[in-house]
Amino acid sequence: MPTEGEILAARRRKAEQLRERGVSLFPARVPKPLDAIPEIVRRYEATDGESLEREEPKPRIAGRIVSIRSFGKAAFAVIQGEGVRLQTWFRQNRVGEDSYSEFKLYDVGDFIWAEGPLVRTKTNELTVDIDRFGLLAKAYRPLPEKWHGLVDVETRYRRRYLDLLVNPRARELAVIRSRTVTAIRA
pLDDT tens digit at each of 186 positions of the chain: 888 899 999 999 999 999 999 999 999 988 889 999 999 999 999 999 999 999 999 999 999 999 999 999 999 999 999 889 999 999 999 999 999 999 999 999 999 999 999 999 999 999 999 999 999 999 998 887 654 566 778 878 888 888 887 788 888 999 999 999 999 999
How far is 10 from 50, CA to CA, in rounded Å? 42
Which pLDDT score, from 0 to 100, does residue 132 have?
A: 96
Which pLDDT score, from 0 to 100, does residue 122 have?
A: 93
Q: Three-state SS for 52? A: helix
Which pLDDT score, from 0 to 100, does residue 1 have?
A: 80
Quick check: bond before 33 cis, omega within 30? Answer: yes
Among the listed residues 131, 144, 82, the one whose alpha carbon sits nearest the alpha carbon of residue 111: 82
Q: For residue 185, what are the contacts with CB-CB under 8 A and spacing of at least 6?
A: none
pTM score, whole prediction: 0.86
How far is 37 from 133, CA to CA, in rounded Å? 15
Among the listed residues 62, 59, 65, the one whose alpha carbon sits nearest the alpha carbon of residue 11: 65
Which pLDDT score, from 0 to 100, does residue 144 have?
A: 74
Which pLDDT score, from 0 to 100, does residue 148 have?
A: 53
Which pLDDT score, from 0 to 100, does residue 145 have?
A: 67
37 contacts 82 by C-beta, under 8 angstroms: yes
Number of helices (H), then strands (E), in the chain: 8, 7
